[in-house]
Amino acid sequence: MHTEVCLVLFSFLFLHNTESLRPPGVKTETFLSAPFYLKPGQVANKYYYNIPYPKGHIAVKSFNGEVVDEYGNSIPLHETYLHHWIVERYYGLKDSAPGVENDLSKIILVRNSGLCKHTLKQYYGLGSETRKTDTWIPDPYGIVVGNPEEVPSGYEERWLLNLHAIDTRGVTDRLGCTECRCNLYNVTVDEDGDKIQANYIGGLNCCYDETQCKLREGFESVTRKLFLKYTVEWVEWEPRIVPVKVYILDITDTGTGSDSCNVEYEVKECNSEERKNGDCIDTQITRLVMPHGGDIIYGVAHQHSGGAGSALYGQDGRLLCTSIPSYGNGKEAGNEENYIVGMSTCYPKPGSVKIADGETLTLISNYSSNQMHTGVMGLFYVLVAEEDRPLLGPPKNMICFNSLLTWCIEMSVKTGAVFIAGATLISIATMSLYKLHRKNQYEALATARGMVSHPKKRIHYV
């Protein structure tokens, strides 16, 4: 009788244990940005200050988003191309009136730890790959933010979103519009009114907010009301969490001074010789000095259409991380043909991939040069833990297992040896499962990521 009770309880715990793919305490919240409006062929490059964001001293575990319409439908990239969304951290004046935020002299940006001085300040940022790129940070790591002790008095920590989207319904040249070809946008000056250089064929200077890409003659369609829907996962801060630093490395970074990151670059079409030899790959290489080292916990590259992979190497040539784009092969959101719909990520076993203080890293970005590409990017995000990883105690439900086991054995002793045998068997099974669980804990969390669908808990409008 007691054995039966034990077995029932054990199977309940086993089931419970295998189904909880996230560590306990992870909170999930989904938000909507303020709306933006797009006519066919139009560009939106918006900045939203003080966006909804989890409050308090927390460790962010993941951040992802996608473009949806006012009915909540996911919008495919061939209709609204998501060039990028970027989330930056800053300190804003506590009692500032709405709008004052836009005065950049009144806010204090909190940059990531990366090497570019004037660009790429964000904590998170993705583009077309946003729907299928893993951003989960495994335990015990997290991006620790919201510590009130770090905020200057009179300020509070806030977040801003920069969103750059290009509507390509009815355009004459989808790739050209998404690569911001200046001729398709019929612009001669950039956003600041400066003349665009004749040798600048395409890139961000030609597809700024409210510019218009060339449409097919007579094409008409509705203006769309769109949002960035973004989901943040986090845990409350606790001493056991090991903070990671965010580094964003840029392939155009010459590493030579204050304004060394151009962020975008151009891929020239290969010549006939290269085409004959099947060598239509453009490889860019840059070397960058990391001021501080540590353990690489996560890595991912950001590339545009045509991207063929990116890799990061240590000073001695050892491979630190490779990130490869995956292209869609259909029409539906998340699987759009010819678009990068996801980037592969690196989850090294903690402690196994280290970089030293002052180490020179080599970054490589490959693109197909079967055709010209303008305004492409070669970024590499790395999360680095400077502290050593603390030893993790057994998960809570394992402690529960053990006390239950003790109870079962006690009961069994009273009712006979048969039950001791049963309890011992269960005990062995528990321990081996526990060992398996510990062994797989790290990988399991990483791979589980894609399988978990997040319930929409709350939707906030700005």
Ligand X SMILES: *[C@@H]1O[C@H](CO)[C@@H](O)[C@H](O)[C@H]1NC(C)=O
Write down the least CB distance from residue 342 to ligand X, Å.
Answer: 16
Cα 202 to Cα 46: distance, rounded to the nearest angstrom: 20
Closest CB to ligand X among 90 and 185? 185
Closest CB to ligand X among 309 and 314? 309
Cα 277 to Cα 372: distance, rounded to the nearest angstrom: 18
Could you report how far apart the first and last alpha carbons of the chain are, in Å? 58
Q: Are strands 141-145 and 242-250 parallel, antiparallel or unpaired?
A: parallel
Instruction: List the alpha helices (DSSP H) in 236-383.
Output: 272-276
CB 178, CB 166: distance < 8 Å = yes
Closest CB to ligand X among 87 and 182? 182
Closest CB to ligand X among 3 and 369? 369
Query: In a 3-state reduction of DSSP, which class is residue 206?
Result: helix
Write down the least CB distance from residue 112 to ligand X, Å.
Answer: 23
Write down the least CB distance from residue 437 to ligand X, Å.
Answer: 34
Chain residue whose CB lies nearest ligand X:
309
Write down the least CB distance from residue 186 to ligand X, Å.
Answer: 4
Write down the least CB distance from residue 212 to ligand X, Å.
Answer: 7
Closest CB to ligand X among 3 and 310? 310
Closest CB to ligand X among 167 and 233? 167
Cα 116 to Cα 73: distance, rounded to the nearest angstrom: 36
Write down the least CB distance from residue 189 to ligand X, Å.
Answer: 9
At what angle are helices 396-415 and 2-19 packed, to 10 degrees? 170
Q: Tokens at residue 158, please?
A: 């806030």
CA separation, residue 162 to residues 65, 128, 159 (Å):
13, 14, 10
- 368: phi then psi, degrees, rounded to nearest 5: -70, 135
Write down the least CB distance from residue 311 to ligand X, Å.
Answer: 4
Write down the least CB distance from residue 308 to ligand X, Å.
Answer: 6
Cα 306 to Cα 364: distance, rounded to the nearest angstrom: 15
Closest CB to ligand X among 315 and 441? 315
| Of 247, 298, 321, 293, nearest in space to 386 by CA | 293
Closest CB to ligand X among 61 and 181? 181
Write down the least CB distance from residue 264 to ligand X, Å.
Answer: 19
Cα 52 to Cα 462: distance, rounded to the nearest angstrom: 7
Amino acid at 388: D
Write down the least CB distance from residue 365 to ligand X, Å.
Answer: 8
Closest CB to ligand X among 203 and 325? 325
Closest CB to ligand X among 239 and 278? 278
DSSP annotation of 181 reads: B
Closest CB to ligand X among 284 and 447? 284
DSSP annotation of 106 reads: G
Residues that bind ligand X (CB under 6 A): 186, 281, 283, 308-311, 322, 364, 366
Cα three-residue angle 342-444-308, rounded to 5 degrees: 25
Write down the least CB distance from residue 352 to ligand X, Å.
Answer: 20
Q: Which residues contact 383 (CB under 8 A, 6 or more apart)?
A: 137, 141, 143, 244, 245, 246, 247, 296, 297, 298, 299
DSSP annotation of 96 reads: P
CB 234, CB 58: distance < 8 Å = yes
Q: Rg of the Cα trace of the chain?
A: 25
| Of 330, 171, 33, 423, nearest in space to 180 by CA | 171
